[in-house]
């Protein structure tokens, strides 16, 4: 049973990482992050 739980946990982590990369990779998010960093450095 622990092997199945490990496999499901790994699959969930990979799926979450994929969704996170898709969101962070968006142009709007990158522009917002760049603006925040820009403001912080001024």
Number of domains observed in the structure of the chain: 1
Under 8 Å between Cβ of 29 and 23:
yes
Which residue segment(s) compose the domain that 24 sits in?
A: 2-41
Give the pLDDT score at 26. Answer: 79
pLDDT tens-digit map of 1-39:
589 899 999 999 999 999 988 888 878 888 888 899 999
Quote the pLDDT of residue 29: 82
pLDDT given at position 1: 57
CA distance 25 to 4: 31
- pTM exceeds 0.75, yes or no: no
Please report the pLDDT score of residue 10 as a whole number: 94
Angle at CA 38, nearest 5°, toward 35 and 39?
85
């Amino acid at each position: 049973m622990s092997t199945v739980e490990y496999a499901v946990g790994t699959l969930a982590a990979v799926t979450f990482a994929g969704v996170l990369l898709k969101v962070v990779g968006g142009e709007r998010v990158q522009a917002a992050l760049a603006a925040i960093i820009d403001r912080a450095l001024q």
